[in-house]
């Protein structure tokens, strides 16, 4: 199989090994009669893979239908898939074929299959196993010969564990699986796709192509692209429309640096955004208030506790078994006077944040160590060892 010819035919861009493996798997499954489950995030191009499976199968001369299960009204799913008879429900003014009847002898691509209601899942399982189905409102058993290619952007087995998807239907579909990697795992393909999208858009609109300098390419690749190829395509077209110009004999291409690209990069609420820092704007931002600072300190403190616990577990794996536990030390038997090795800067920063959190808890309970320890989720003995300097002699 000529993998590059296949990519060209279906307009698939990328040289990532995982993408190539997914394409090879699709071609191998195609000649069989197996139902296929395609898994991948939204926007990775699952429909293209379904079309490849159909075109390389013995059904390629017959119909290929695409059904977005997530877009079907819940009350009409069964009617859309299996058809209905006249008068079976309000609005059923005539008998109508469903997709399984229309696609007889061909391929039916069920996108977002995890969105199917439980009743429809049971009916789908039956038609996959026996080819039998009934129209809504009819007692007549009908037969169809349809190959199903299903797709989902959710972890389908997790849906099974949560009771949202039938386990028997999952196993029926998952015998032949294809996993399409997200764009963030195909970093070397991101700029290839960018160049393809800006080239196509520019050619249609008579505009200059956009190219990127190395630092701008790195910025483009650092973004996680949660919408995958679909998001990158929309971003590239919008960027070209905003920054490009009409082609002239002396101007064929516009090259952008990272600083020029950064203001146009997508922004996601709640995560770091790759933009150029504006010092003047940063000075105008208000400092964190007391509640925000306390929440941050608490998060840092909890994280350090988890890290310490993990380190202790690792230490126990690597070292000989510890001796029998000694009696619990009294408060005055702490190790504050033992000289310690210099700590790295990041450890000191965490320790300072931890002390600040302890300081706030002690102030809240007027120096009551027991209540402060309960607030912080630690023993009173541990709290004593971590006391800020000004509280150790109280």
pLDDT tens figures, 187-224: 999 999 999 999 999 999 999 999 999 999 999 999 99
What distance in Å separates the CA atoms of residue 147 and residue 89, rounded to the nearest whole number? 29
pLDDT value for 85: 87
Examine the pLDDT at 50 and tell me if it is beyond 50.
Answer: yes
Alpha-carbon Rg for the chain in angstroms: 31
The answer on pLDDT for 61 being more than 70 is: yes
> How confident is the model over 212-261, as pLDDT tens digits?
999 999 999 999 999 999 999 999 999 999 998 888 887 888 999 999 99
Calpha distance 313→32 (Å, rounded):
50
Task: Read off the pTM.
Answer: 0.66
pLDDT in tens, 282-302: 443 444 455 555 556 556 656
- Looking at residues 138-163, what average pLDDT do you find? 93
Percent of the chain scoring above 70 in pLDDT: 77
Return the bridge partners of 255, or none.
Answer: 211
Residue that has been written with the tokens 């008879």 in this structure: 85
Q: Which whole number is the average pLDDT over 300-309?
A: 61
In this prediction, residues 352-365 reach a mean pLDDT of: 78
Per-position b or e across 114-129, b if 16+ CB within 10 A of its CB: bbbeeebbebbbebbe
Average pLDDT, the chain: 82
Dist CA 70 CA 68 (whole Å) = 5
Length of the chain: 394
CATH 3.40.50.300 region(s) of the chain?
3-181
Rounded-to-integer distance, Cα 364 and Cα 356, Å: 12
What CA–CA distance (Å, rounded) separates 388 from 132? Answer: 74
Residue range 317-352, pLDDT digits in tens:
444 444 444 444 433 333 344 344 454 444 455 667
Domain with CATH 1.10.8.60 in the chain: 184-279
Q: With a cut of 50, say whether residue 264 has pLDDT above it.
A: yes
Q: Give the CATH number of domain 3-181; options: 2.160.20.10, 3.40.1190.20, 3.40.50.300, 3.40.30.10.
A: 3.40.50.300
Helix ranges restricted to H, 67-140: 77-82, 99-102, 118-130
Identify the pLDDT of residue 238: 95
Question: Where does 184-279 sit in CATH, by number?
Answer: 1.10.8.60
Helix (H) or strand (E) holding 367: none
Q: With contact defined as beta carbons under 8 Å apart, do 376 and 358 qualify?
A: yes
At residue 348, the 3 state secondary structure works out as helix
**Residue 195: per-residue pLDDT:** 96
**Inter-residue contact 178 to 39 (CB < 8 Å):** yes
């Amino acid at each position: 199989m000529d993998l590059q010819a296949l990519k060209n035919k279906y307009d698939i861009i990328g040289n990532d090994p995982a993408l190539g493996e997914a394409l090879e798997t699709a071609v191998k499954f195609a000649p069989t009669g197996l139902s296929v489950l395609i898994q991948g995030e939204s926007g990775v191009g699952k429909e293209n893979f379904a079309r490849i499976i159909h075109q390389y199968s013995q059904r390629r001369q017959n119909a290929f239908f695409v059904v977005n299960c997530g877009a079907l009204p819940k009350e009409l799913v069964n009617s859309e898939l299996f058809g209905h008879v006249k008068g079976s429900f309000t609005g059923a003014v005539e008998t109508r074929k469903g997709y399984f009847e229309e696609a007889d002898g061909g391929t039916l691509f069920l996108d977002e299959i995890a969105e199917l209601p439980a009743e429809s899942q049971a009916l789908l399982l039956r038609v996959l196993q026996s080819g039998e189905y009934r129209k809504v409102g009819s007692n007549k058993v009908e037969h169809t010969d349809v190959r199903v290619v299903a797709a989902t952007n959710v972890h389908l087995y997790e849906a099974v564990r949560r009771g949202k998807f039938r386990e028997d239907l999952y196993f029926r579909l998952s015998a032949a699986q294809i996993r399409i990697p997200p764009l963030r795992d195909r970093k070397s393909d991101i700029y290839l796709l960018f160049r393809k999208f800006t080239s196509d858009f520019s050619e249609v609109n008579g505009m200059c192509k956009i190219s990127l300098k190395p630092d701008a390419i790195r910025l483009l690749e650092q973004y996680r692209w949660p919408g995958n190829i679909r998001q990158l395509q929309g971003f590239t077209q919008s960027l070209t429309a905003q920054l490009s110009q009409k082609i002239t004999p002396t101007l064929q291409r516009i090259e952008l640096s990272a600083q020029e690209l950064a203001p146009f990069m997508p922004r996601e609420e709640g995560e770091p955004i790759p933009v150029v820092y504006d010092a003047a704007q940063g000075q105008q931002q208000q400092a964190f208030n007391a509640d925000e600072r306390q929440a941050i300190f608490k998060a840092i403190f909890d994280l350090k506790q988890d890290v310490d616990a993990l380190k202790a577990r690792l230490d126990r794996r690597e070292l000989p078994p510890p001796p029998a536990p000694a009696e619990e030390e009294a408060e005055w038997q702490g190790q504050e006077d033992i000289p310690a090795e210099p700590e790295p800067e990041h450890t000191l920063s965490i320790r300072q944040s931890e002390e600040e959190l302890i300081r706030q808890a002690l102030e809240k309970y007027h120096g009551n160590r027991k209540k402060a320890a309960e607030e912080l989720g630690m023993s009173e003995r541990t709290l004593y060892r971590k006391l800020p300097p000004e509280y150790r002699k109280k």
